Amino acid sequence: MKDFKTQAIWQRSHKLTLDIYRATQNFPKEEMYGLTSQIRRAVSSIPTNIAEGCGRRTNAELSNFLNIASGSASEVEYEIILAREVGYITKEQCELWTNEIGEIRSMIAAYMKKLKTAN
């Protein structure tokens, strides 16, 4: 078991989650059960799955949760693009967050590779 709070990948994905939660406070109220809810659930799934994986006993289990986190990151990337195209966030926010998602996905892939070679 690993302490998820010490993992750089968790720290970055947690910060992104906080940033997106703050930004979605300004989304239209009619999106509360639509895009706002969906993007919040998907973005919080990234650090949540990293944390859960770190609490498991084996590297294989951790790797599985990292894989789920990576899928959630892809979902968030799409939802960020959608939010930009419907005018809820700026082009700059979209670029910043999609770049951060790319970095997080790269970190996840590197971590999974490290776990695989550790076996």
pLDDT tens string 44-57: 999 999 999 999 99
Report pLDDT for 22. Answer: 97
What are the pLDDT digits (tens) for 65-118? Answer: 999 999 999 999 999 999 999 999 999 999 999 999 999 999 999 999 999 887
Q: What's 42's domain CATH number? A: 1.20.1440.60
Looking at the structure of the chain, the number of domains it has is 1
Q: What is the pTM of this model?
A: 0.94
Report pLDDT for 119. Answer: 63
Query: From CA 47, how far away is CA 5, in angstroms rounded?
Result: 10
Q: Which domain holds residue 27?
A: 4-118
119 against 34, higher pLDDT: 34
Residue 21 clears pLDDT 90, i.e. is over it: yes
